[in-house]
Structure 1
Amino acid sequence: MKVKTTYYPALKNIEKAAETLESVVYKTPVQQSFSLSERYNSNIYLKREDAQIVRSYKIRGAFNKINSIKDTKRSVVCASAGNHAQGVAFSCYKLGIKGVIFMPATTPKQKIRQVKMFGKEMVEVIIDGDTFDDSSLLAKTFCQKNNGVFVHPFNDELVIEGQATVGLEICDQTDFKIDYLFIPVGGGGLSSGVSSVFKALSPETKIIGVEPTGAPAMFNAFKHGQIQELREIDKFVDGASVKKVGELNFPICKDNMDEISLVDEGKLCSTIIQMYNENGIVLEPAGALSVAVLDKFKDEIKDKNVVCILSGGNNDITRTEEIRERSLLYEGLMHYFIVRFPQRAGALKEFVEEILGQNDDIVHFEYTKKTSRERGPALVGIELQSKEDLEPLIEKMKLKNFFGEYLNKKPDLFSYMI
C-alpha cells in the first residue's frame, strides 16, 4: 500500500521553478558513456550535474528557495557539507541577500574555499559540528535567535521543486525510452523531486536510489516503512551522508522509487578513479554513487537504456591518496601486516628478495628496533599486483617466520594503526 503524502511536488510548480532558474543554472548535458555502455552491454547515459555552475545540482533548489524570499533584509541561514552551501552562497550573491552558512568540520577545504568564493562579501561561513546533523542543529538555533530564513538542503518544498528540474531536463533531452534511472540519495531532495517528474512523464522507468553503505538512512526508512535516525554514519561520502532523511522527502520517494541500493565506500573510490581515467570526469564520492551501483544491476540492465545522474564534482585533490587507498583496499590490492623481523643484519633484504613477489611494492613501513628483544616488529603496507597474490605471500611469510598479524581483517586495530 502506498504511503499518503501531505505534500507532492506538482508538475506545474516544477515547471515554474525551471522558469525561475532558466537564466541562472546551466542546462547540463545528457551524454552517452561509451566505456560504460560497452562494459554493461547497454546504453548508459550520464546526466552531468558535475558540470553545473557550482559543480552540483544543489544550486537549483537553493536559488528557487532564496528567490522566493520577500523580505530581503532577513539573512539566509543554512547548514551544509559543501554543495548546498555553494548553491546558497552563489544565490545570496546573485540576489543580494546576506547569508550565514554552517559547515561541519569534516568538510573538505576545497568546498569551504568555493563557498567563500561564490558568496564573496554576502556570506559568513561558520565551521562547527562533526556532521551535517550537528551543523544543522547549530544553524537552526542561530536562525531562530536572529530571525533568519532557514534554507534546508532537502526537507523544503521549494528546494525539492528546484532539484526536480534535473528530471525535467532529462526528459526534454532524451528522445528514447528510459528503462532505468539511477539517482544518488542523501536526505532525499534530488530523489524526491526527480522521481516525481518521472512518475508523471515517464512512468515506465524503473527508478533506483543509491546510498553509501556507511549512511543508509533512506534504505532503512524503506525497509522499516518509516524514518529512522541513524546513530552513527561514515562521513566519507560527505555529500550524501545524513543520519535522517527529510520528512517531506521520504513519503514521496517511497511512493515513486522502486528500491534503494547500497554501495560500499571502497567501490565508490574505485569508480571515481575509473571515471577519471576512462571518461576524464572528476567526481566527488556522492557524485559517483549512480555509476558505482551498476555492477549490482549488470544482468538486469543489459540491452536497456539507462540514465545515471552524476550529482557533483567537488572533489578536493588532497583526498586523492585516501581515495586511492580505499580503492586498493576494496579491490584486495592493499594489505597491512605486523611483520616480525629478526634483529640481525640482512633481515629486511631477505624479506624484500625472498618474501615479496616481483611486482609487490612496500608502500608503508614503520620499524622500531628494540635491542632487548630477539625479534622486532614492523608495520608494513604492501601493494599487490593481483589480489590472488595474497595467500602465497602470507604462506611465504609464515614459512620464513616473518608473519606477525594481518591487520585488514582486524578493523579496530587497523583503524588505530593506519
Structure 2
Amino acid sequence: MQNTRLDTDRIRAARRLIDPAFLNTPLYRCEALEPALGCAVSIKLETANPVRSFKARGTEVVASLLADSGRRAAVCASSGNLGQALAWSGRARGLDVTVVSSRFATAAKLDRIRALDARLELVDGDHELARERAADIARADGIRLVEDSLDIETCEGAATIGLELVDTEPKFDTVLVALGGGALATGVGHVLKTFAPEVELICVQPLGAPAMAHSWRNRRVITTDSTDTIADGVDGRRPIPAVLDDLLLVADDAVLVQESSIITAMRMLFNQAGLVVEPSAALGIAALLENPTRFAGRHVVTVVCGSNVDVEAYHRWVGTGRIGES
C-alpha cells in the first residue's frame, strides 16, 4: 500500500491517550438481523460511551496533545457529534472549547454540547458555513482549530477501531463504514490495508449527500451546492483534498443509499438488535438492504458509529413510540 498521512506507530500510541471508556467497544454477531439481510452480520458498537459516538477517539488524542503543549483553548465546527466529543475531552483536560454549528442541527446534539460546558455559536447556514466561522474564530483568538478528518489526530483516533477489528476472531470479509468527512473511513481503512488487506472496506453515503463518494469515484474533489438527507452526521458538501487522497488508497468502494433504506435500517436495528441509532450509523445496514446479492454468504462488520438522536424525529422515522416510555 502507498503511504497515507496516517502512521501505524502513532495509531498504537493514540490508544494510550484515549480514555478507556471509548476503547474496546463491543463487537458481536447479530444473528437476528441475518435472515433479512442474507449474510453474517457483526456489529462494532461505538455508541456505548459518554458521548454516544466514535468521535471521542479522535478528540481524546487532540485534547491530550493540546493540554501537553500548554494550549488551553480550541474551536471546531460540528453538526453535533464532534462538538460533543471535543467538549467532553476538553473539559476533562481544562480546555476552553467553542463549537460552531448550524442552528438547524439536531436540537438534542446542541443541548448536549451546552451541557458539557462548551461555548456554542450558531450560524444561519449549513456545516460549511460553520466551518468558515470556526476558522475565523481560531484566527481572531489565536486558538487551535480542530478540523475533523483534516487533522490527522481525528483519523488516527478513529483508526484504533481498526486495531480492535483486526485483533478479533473469527475473521470477516467486509467492513462497512459511514462516509462523511472521512476520518472513520481513512482510519479504519489504513489499519485494514496494513494488517488485513484481504478485507474489503466499503464506505456508505446517502444519495442526498454524495460529495465524498462522487469524489472517490472520480478520483478528484467534487463539491455539491446543497445536501438533502436525514443523516446529518455525513452531510458535508466540500471534501478535503488530503482526506480524499487517503481514501483513494484504502477504500475498495463508495456506495450511495436511499433515504428510505436508511429509515428501514434504523427500524431493523431497533426491532432486531435493540439499538437506537442515528441515521449515519444505519448506513451500513442500508447498503446491505439495497444490494443483498453482493454480500450473500459473506461475513460483514458494520460500524454503528453514533446514537445521538432527536426523540421526536426518531419517532417519526422509526415509529417505535417515544423512547423511554413503557
> Is 220-229 or 65-74 further displaced after alignment?
65-74
| Amino acid corresponding to residue 39 of structure 1 in structure 2 | A
Deviations, residues 301-336 of structure 1 (Å, cap 9, x unaligned): 2222110001101111021354258xxxxxxxxxxx
| Amino acid corresponding to residue 260 of structure 1 in structure 2 | A
Is 1:283 aligned with 2:281?
no
Counterpart contact for 1:102–1:125, Cα < 8 Å: yes
Q: Corresponding residue for 2:81?
A: 83
| In 2, Cα distance between equivalents of 1:101 and 1:57 | 18
Q: Aligned match of 1:110 in 77, 93, 108?
A: 108
Q: Which has the larger radius of gyration?
A: 1
> Is 228-237 or 238-247 further displaced after alignment?
228-237
Is 1:317 aligned with 2:315?
no
The offset of 1:22, in angstroms, is 4.8
The offset of 1:93, in angstroms, is 0.7
| In 1, Cα distance between equivalents of 2:33 and 2:240 | 32
Counterpart contact for 2:33–2:268, Cα < 8 Å: no
Which secondary structure state, in structure 2, belongs to the residue aligned with residue 68 of structure 1? Answer: helix
Q: Corresponding residue for 1:166?
A: 161
| In 2, Cα distance between equivalents of 1:313 and 1:78 | 20
Is 1:17 aligned with 2:11?
no
| Amino acid corresponding to residue 180 of structure 2 in structure 1 | G
Which secondary structure state, in structure 2, belongs to the residue aligned with residue 153 of structure 1? Answer: coil
The offset of 1:248, in angstroms, is 2.4
Alignment of 1:223-302 (within 5 A): 223-302=217-296
Q: What TM-score, normalized to structure 1?
A: 0.73
Q: Corresponding residue for 2:323?
A: none
Q: Corresponding residue for 1:414?
A: none
Counterpart contact for 1:74–1:147, Cα < 8 Å: no
| Amino acid corresponding to residue 240 of structure 2 in structure 1 | G
Which secondary structure state, in structure 2, belongs to the residue aligned with residue 314 of structure 1? Answer: coil
Cα-Cα RMSD: 1.7
> Is 281-290 or 227-236 further displaced after alignment?
227-236
| In 2, Cα distance between equivalents of 1:179 and 1:258 | 12
The offset of 1:41, in angstroms, is 3.2
Deviations, residues 214-261 of structure 1 (Å, cap 9, x unaligned): 010111102221012211111521101100222222111111111101
Which secondary structure state, in structure 2, belongs to the residue aligned with residue 92 of structure 1? Answer: helix
The offset of 1:66, in angstroms, is 1.7
* Higher RCO (C-alpha 8 Å, min separation 6): 2
Counterpart contact for 1:26–1:53, Cα < 8 Å: no
Q: Aligned match of 2:134 in 139, 142, 152?
A: 139
| In 1, Cα distance between equivalents of 2:16 and 2:314 | 38
| In 2, Cα distance between equivalents of 1:57 and 1:244 | 22
Deviations, residues 126-171 of structure 1 (Å, cap 9, x unaligned): 1113211111100100110000101112111111101111111122
| In 2, Cα distance between equivalents of 1:130 and 1:324 | 27
| Amino acid corresponding to residue 51 of structure 2 in structure 1 | V
Is 1:39 aligned with 2:67?
no
| In 1, Cα distance between equivalents of 2:297 and 2:218 | 33
| Amino acid corresponding to residue 107 of structure 1 in structure 2 | A
Q: Corresponding residue for 1:222?
A: 216
Is 1:189 aligned with 2:183?
yes
Moved over 3 A (4+): 70-74
Which secondary structure state, in structure 1, belongs to the residue aligned with residue 295 of structure 2? Answer: coil
Counterpart contact for 1:283–1:312, Cα < 8 Å: yes
Counterpart contact for 1:156–1:248, Cα < 8 Å: no
The offset of 1:63, in angstroms, is 1.3
Q: Corresponding residue for 1:374?
A: none
Deviations, residues 270-325 of structure 1 (Å, cap 9, x unaligned): 21122112211001010111111102331222222110001101111021354258
The offset of 1:73, in angstroms, is 4.6
Counterpart contact for 1:160–1:189, Cα < 8 Å: yes
| In 2, Cα distance between equivalents of 1:198 and 1:286 | 21
The offset of 1:111, in angstroms, is 0.6
Any stretches of 5+ residues in structure 1 without a counterpart?
326-418
Q: Corresponding residue for 2:5?
A: 8
Alignment of 1:326-341 (within 5 A): none
Which secondary structure state, in structure 1, belongs to the residue aligned with residue 65 of structure 2? Answer: coil
Corresponding residue pairs, total: 318
